[in-house]
Structure 1
């Protein structure tokens, strides 16, 4: 169990200090065939997974994860996080709240990482699309 716990904690610590200069550290934290999914991506393999975060740094200013809660049950763990960022060259700060579900290999490396968050948090910021999404949400809301 100590390999699982230490791998889980090391992975969380990596995300709280993620930077363009330390993306190579992912290779030691994940299995070579790691699977990653989020509302926009379905990736297999450590190099492709690392590229997701390289792209994040290319397109966003000051991206930052803050893990608010962690839970580990056997080889499955969950992180509740806040992700803050600004779009390149824009002053407005954005916040996405989400959860990561991670599955750990017996040696404590992450074999699968599934992010769960509402992509509408991003879509609502797009001028025309955002107005349409807000209208649909109002129509579907109770009360």
Structure 2
């Protein structure tokens, strides 16, 4: 039985990429992700490093001072699971720092590059409730659901 390659360095590269992500460093995505990597989050489902980089660059257009803090990471074979806090300031509405908590599942290919990236986070609780008008409606619906 062959032992799976150690992906510790690959995982460290992913953690570092997200911890230091800037508009400029988004272009380095091809050093971390395979050319045909699959990416999915609550708003996007794309394939390929150009499309993934576009999503990360768009994040810098949508919000101010975005950055990730990876709080936990676990590696098993060619797969890893990360939990993170995404901190940012909205360009409109409140200038208070916002935090979205989420998790990411990644799978590494034979070269140690990410071939699958799947984000899990609750868009309703973590984002929509923080918006002025929509947030009030979401909180009202949440309370009504508990009654």
Equivalenced residues, count: 141
Q: Provide the rounded CA distance (Å) in 2 between the counterparts of 1:77 and 1:139.
A: 37
> For 2:71, what is the secondary structure of its paired residue?
strand
CA RMSD across the alignment: 1.4
What corresponds to 2:14 in structure 1? 11
CA distance in structure 1 between the aligned counterparts of 2:95 and 2:136, rounded to whole angstroms? 21
Unaligned runs of 5+ in 2: none
C-alpha separation in 1, matches of 2:136 and 2:50: 37
1:88 matched to 2:91? The reply is yes
**TM-score with structure 1 setting the length:** 0.92
Residue 105 (structure 1) aligns with: 109
- How far, CA to CA, are the matches of 2:95 and 2:133 in structure 1? 20
Choose the corresponding residue for 2:57, options 49, 54, 57. 54
Task: Report which structure shows greater RCO (CA 8 Å, sep ≥6).
Answer: 1
Aligned to 2:134: 129
Measured in 1, the distance between the counterparts of 2:23 and 2:100 equals 20
* Matched-pair contact (CA < 8 Å) for 1:5–1:108: no
**What TM-score, normalized to structure 2?**
0.90
Shift of 1:64: 0.8
Unmatched 5+ stretches in structure 1 = none
